Structure 1
Amino acid sequence: MGRIPPRQLAQDLPDSGRAPLPGRWAMLAVLCASLLLVAMDATILNVALPSLIDHMDPSPMQQLWIVDLYGLVLGGLLITCGAIGDRFGRKRLFIAGFLLFGLASVVAATSHTPMQLIAGRALLGVGGAMVMPSTLSIIRTIFTDDHERTQAIGIWASVAGAGAAIGPLVGGHLVQSFGWSAAFWLNVPVVVFTVVAGLWLLPEYRAPQHGRLDWFSALLSVLGIVALAWGIKHVAKGNPAPVDLVILVAALLLLGLFTYRQLKSPDPLLDVRLFRNRAFTAAALATLLAMLAIGAALFLISLWLQYIHGFTPSEAGLRTLPAAVAMLLGSLSTPWLLQRIGVRALMGFALGAVAVGFAVLAAVPDTTYPVVALVLFTLGLGDGLAITTAAAVLVSAVPPERAGMAGAVEETNYELGIGLGVALLGSIHGRLFVSHMTDLPLQGEQLDTARGSVGGAAYVADQVGGPAGAHILEIAQHAYDSALTTTSWISAAMVGAVAVLTVVLVPRGFTAASAH
């Protein structure tokens, strides 16, 4: 009997009737290479921004779009792209998305104006949204054994988490050595290699029973998620403009209408009834809170390393590596732990570890780098365990033809978690910082600049110079540490509450395999 073609094999037979695909681990390597780039691009530009500003002189609004647009577009399109992949082919969407990602990298790297760079960032977001849910859904297709699938998801999650964590490190070295455009040129050779390997190795999968795509619902989801992320981010910064409040209200209305249409549709883009499954809801919450925590921690600790201890961007990035290493260890150990202690205990332990990490950062009176390294390791370990466990639950909770949907839920919470972590906890820290910046020997514009951020305070201290400048910097450092302590207590309370909630939601004895 002749060999069944991979496309027919993946599409026509249930998991229990399929033999393991040969070359599936090589396929996983291709998927992880693409995921690494997409995850890194969420944070790699942070350290390149000062160099980019010197080169292009973008306006403050253009700077905001350059930084924010990638995540907004990526997060907004994930649900739609997951549904498109289920209907028209996950491999096809993956290859097309990564080709667009490579083209967008060239557009961004060759930018001579801020508007060209903004356009490149938007295209990168579209390409990333096509790639990310495809990676997890293809894993669902090519790994038919529950244990192997959990191992593969562990590797996938470690790459996703480590990509965001090492973005500042890679970006810092590239920018210092070759300039800001190197952060985008890095993508091109990886795209070429991955597309060629993907065309050769990956099987196709699509679910022919799906009906026509509901484009109006797709538009509602894109506009709703983008507006929600924008509104929360700007409201959290304090003193929001009326238009920001209008955008936030509009986001809630759009998402409410989207939910209503999904409940009425026989073939929804996102089956919101899945959230009636308590374990599915717990997994989605765990992903959101885990990424919210690590996104905020990396942002605040990176600033702490640079402005409180005077490290360069690349040196600061190097010192955040404990988080990336711990994420890798946590993700890779999850399959072994899931078999022994189950979803409920592992998810509670993972989020509990994140809460403990923040509590240690808050409780230690004299914060030194060894303490921060321990905190980063604890946060990374908890995040790696939580994200991998959540991904295994989400993918197992849906039938194969809905794997793109599960991937979209995981990735949307992943991206929103990073963005909201910086927006919410970063804004709380910023307000607390301002409240501690008292008794400054400054007036007018210099006073406003110094109270605006620790970077502004360092800039003013350098301008003033002498003992007065040193005194300003000392006040700013104390204010930053005090604000970090309070923000860490708030973070520990938030994550701890969700840890308890997930333990309550997940049924006793529940396993990822039992979600089928």
Structure 2
Amino acid sequence: MTTTIAPQLRAGRREWAGLAVLMIPVLLISVDNTVLGFAIPAISVGLHPTGTQLLWIVDIYALMLAGLLVVMGSLGDRLGRRLLLVIGSCGFGAASLLAAFSVSPEMLIIARALLGIFGATLMPSTLSLIRNIFSDDKDRRIAIATWAAMFSGGAALGPIVGGVLIEHFHWGSIFFINLPLIAAFIPLAIWLLPESRDPNPGRVDPASIVLSMLALAPLVFAIKHAMAAGPDMLFWVTVSVALGAGASFVLRQLALPTPMLDVRLFANKVFTSAVASNLLSIMGLAGFLYFGTQLLQLVLGLSPVEAALVLIPGLVTSIVAGYLVVPIVARFAPRVVVPAALLLNALGMGIVAFTPEHTVTGMLVAFLILGIGLGGAEVVTNDLILAAVPANRAGAASAISETAYEFGSVMGTTVLGGLSTFVFGSALHSAIGDDANRAQFDTLGSALEYTAGLGGQAAHRTAEAAVASFETGVQWAAGAAVVLVVIAAVLTSIGLKGAGRLLPGASAGAEGQEPRPCPKDDD
């Protein structure tokens, strides 16, 4: 009689060492997603980007990641996941150098786009290798907790590292931190990581690649454009292109015998709910880091290092919560744990949204609570995502999961960052009139630099109006994030009804199935 217990061998020292090596690319990707946080004021002054260019500098990286993760996950299934990791890390290092030496907003946008392209070769391989390295359910859940802790912790660590570097060096120094990590990763990956690939990967489909990019890039552009110019004809044209390409992509995947993205996985309510939870929670985090780092420096007057210290408690609690949730989810069903964690996330954002006057303490507490919720939810949802598919489809599942992460990051910056920028501009125009249309008032950093150069009482009043307008924009954006995360909590509470309590050694099955029985421990 065949059972599921036999192949579940406990991991040894080599497997855990391999996990440690896999955390290097996870750290690279997550840190680079948010490392620009404290560099935004310095970039605003150094390169003088427009408000729209500044948003593109921040999220073109995550946009390219989101658009190419599925493609690269499919490519890794074919060529080998370890091989793709090594190739991608080399390209990531070269793009980091280009970003560090950028001399114009356009050059930095191109460099960040290249970082996203090569970053997309790294992420799908990490979760899929974890799925193949750790056959025992207990070991895999600990490994996923480590992955999620490193991803969310790295996202919080990015602004901290950036703050310390910006305090002492040129803003381009934030990209040099990638180089020693890459130099260490390449030989360790070749030595410790096993090669794995899909035994029946099917052929590469160029049409699917084009359609996936046409579905994502125009949508983000449309949102950015609407924030700056309103929903005009260009907005509706680009939205139509995105929706048409998205529908065509889905239909093509359903028709292909071996699709690039197995959209049938979304028929599983548990899988879909877990992916949606990841997307919306990361969206809130990205928005918080975008406007929160500016608020700490430009409004509350902290130096980059002082502002970075405010985020450290949230970073620590995010990592700790990821590990503590492992025994908790063994006692309570995911449909209870995940919504509860998301509501903590919403509470943290709510402190920012509904506080009349922001303070350093309030921002520290808000990020601490947000970190607890985010760290707890990610471990459970990622385990549900991977457990819903067989091992040979781990690349497809992990690519979908990471696409949700990166698209959530894009949309957090685009929607929440764009909303804060739009409200800032509108409020400032109401306060000072037509002068707010000047290019110098596109961002708070450039506005404060411009008014400081003017001097006089009128300049002081204008600076105060700019700060007040920015705080209003932050409150609106944080309020929108609260709404999004509460929606995610409600949807997951409903959608995760098919996922029973995850007992130690058990995994969530597909929809309509019970979790696999817990094998007896030999130890």
Which residue does 1:155 correspond to in 2? 146
SS in 2 for 1:144: coil
Q: 1:199-348 maps to which residues of 2 (within 5 A)?
A: 199-239=190-230, 242-348=233-339
Q: 1:468 to 1:404 in 2, by over 3 A?
A: same
**Identical aligned residues as a percent:** 35
Aligned residue identity for 2:495: L
Give 5+ residue unaligned stretches, structure 2: 511-523
Deviation at 1:450, TM superposition (A): 7.6
* Aligned residue pairs, count: 503
CA distance in 2, matches of 1:14, 1:86: 24
Which residue does 2:72 correspond to in 1? 81
SS in 2 for 1:354: helix
The equivalent position to 2:494 in structure 1, one of 500, 504, 507, is 504
Q: 1:108 to 1:392 in 2, by over 3 A?
A: same
Q: Does 1:515 align with 2:516?
A: no
TM-score normalised to structure 2 length: 0.88
Aligned residue identity for 1:172: G
CA distance in 2, matches of 1:136, 1:504: 26
Aligned residue identity for 2:477: T
Deviation at 1:173, TM superposition (A): 2.2
The equivalent position to 2:371 in structure 1, one of 370, 380, 383, is 380
Q: Is the 8 A contact 1:342 1:510 kept in 2?
A: yes
Q: 1:94 to 1:228 in 2, by over 3 A?
A: same
Deviations 1:257-300 (A, max 9, x none): 11001111221111111111111111111001110111111222
Aligned residue identity for 1:213: V
Aligned residue identity for 2:87: A
Q: Is the 8 A contact 1:282 1:502 kept in 2?
A: yes
Deviations 1:345-397 (A, max 9, x none): 11110111112222333334443222221111111111111222211111111
CA distance in 1, matches of 2:420, 2:48: 28
The equivalent position to 1:42 in structure 2, one of 33, 39, 43, is 33
- Greater mean alpha carbon deviation, residues 296-305 or residues 173-182: 173-182
Deviation at 1:125, TM superposition (A): 1.5
SS in 1 for 2:33: coil
Aligned residue identity for 1:70: Y
Which residue does 1:184 correspond to in 2? 175
The equivalent position to 2:189 in structure 1, one of 198, 216, 233, is 198
- Greater mean alpha carbon deviation, residues 135-144 or residues 335-344: 335-344
Q: 1:15 to 1:62 in 2, by over 3 A?
A: farther
Q: 1:431 to 1:222 in 2, by over 3 A?
A: closer
CA distance in 2, matches of 1:357, 1:444: 36
Q: Is the 8 A contact 1:75 1:226 kept in 2?
A: no
Q: Does 1:402 align with 2:396?
A: no
Deviation at 1:145, TM superposition (A): 1.3
Q: Does 1:489 align with 2:479?
A: yes
Aligned residue identity for 1:363: F
SS in 2 for 1:304: helix
- Greater mean alpha carbon deviation, residues 443-452 or residues 221-230: 443-452
Deviation at 1:105, TM superposition (A): 2.2
Which residue does 2:519 correspond to in 1? none
CA distance in 1, matches of 2:113, 2:350: 37
The two structures, once aligned, show a CA RMSD in angstroms of 2.7
CA distance in 1, matches of 2:72, 2:428: 46
TM-score normalised to structure 1 length: 0.89
Deviation at 1:302, TM superposition (A): 1.4
CA distance in 2, matches of 1:398, 1:283: 13
The equivalent position to 1:367 in structure 2, one of 358, 372, 386, is 358
Q: Does 1:468 align with 2:458?
A: yes
CA distance in 1, matches of 2:64, 2:190: 26
CA distance in 2, matches of 1:31, 1:461: 47
Aligned residue identity for 2:475: T
SS in 2 for 1:254: helix
Deviations 1:218-237 (A, max 9, x none): 22213322333333333344
CA distance in 2, matches of 1:72, 1:507: 32
Q: Is the 8 A contact 1:16 1:144 kept in 2?
A: no
Which residue does 2:16 correspond to in 1? 25
Aligned residue identity for 1:455: G
CA distance in 1, matches of 2:443, 2:90: 39
Q: Is the 8 A contact 1:362 1:489 kept in 2?
A: yes
Give 5+ residue unaligned stretches, structure 1: 1-12
Q: Is the 8 A contact 2:270 2:498 kept in 1?
A: no
CA distance in 1, matches of 2:316, 2:171: 26
The equivalent position to 1:165 in structure 2, one of 156, 161, 171, is 156
Q: 1:209 to 1:446 in 2, by over 3 A?
A: closer
- Greater mean alpha carbon deviation, residues 217-226 or residues 78-87: 217-226
SS in 1 for 2:333: helix
Q: 1:57 to 1:482 in 2, by over 3 A?
A: closer
Q: Is the 8 A contact 1:15 1:144 kept in 2?
A: no
SS in 2 for 1:207: coil
Which residue does 1:479 correspond to in 2? 469
Q: 1:260 to 1:94 in 2, by over 3 A?
A: same
Deviations 1:77-121 (A, max 9, x none): 100111111222111111211122123223433556766655433
Which residue does 2:402 correspond to in 1? 411
CA distance in 2, matches of 1:178, 1:284: 39
CA distance in 2, matches of 1:280, 1:72: 23
Deviation at 1:30, TM superposition (A): 0.7
- Greater mean alpha carbon deviation, residues 57-66 or residues 489-498: 57-66
Which residue does 2:343 correspond to in 1? 352
Aligned residue identity for 2:378: I
Q: Is the 8 A contact 1:298 1:320 kept in 2?
A: no
Q: 1:268 to 1:439 in 2, by over 3 A?
A: closer
* Regions of 4+ moved over 4 Å: 13-16, 49-66, 110-119, 446-453
CA distance in 1, matches of 2:139, 2:83: 24
Q: 1:460 to 1:245 in 2, by over 3 A?
A: same
SS in 1 for 2:171: coil
Aligned residue identity for 1:493: V
CA distance in 1, matches of 2:486, 2:162: 32
Q: 1:57-72 maps to which residues of 2 (within 5 A)?
A: 66-72=57-63
Q: 1:446 to 1:18 in 2, by over 3 A?
A: closer
Q: Is the 8 A contact 2:384 2:508 kept in 1?
A: no
Deviations 1:394-447 (A, max 9, x none): 11111111111111111111111112112212232333334443774x565466
Q: 1:117 to 1:452 in 2, by over 3 A?
A: closer
Q: Does 1:135 align with 2:129?
A: no
Deviation at 1:509, TM superposition (A): 5.2
Deviation at 1:58, TM superposition (A): 7.0
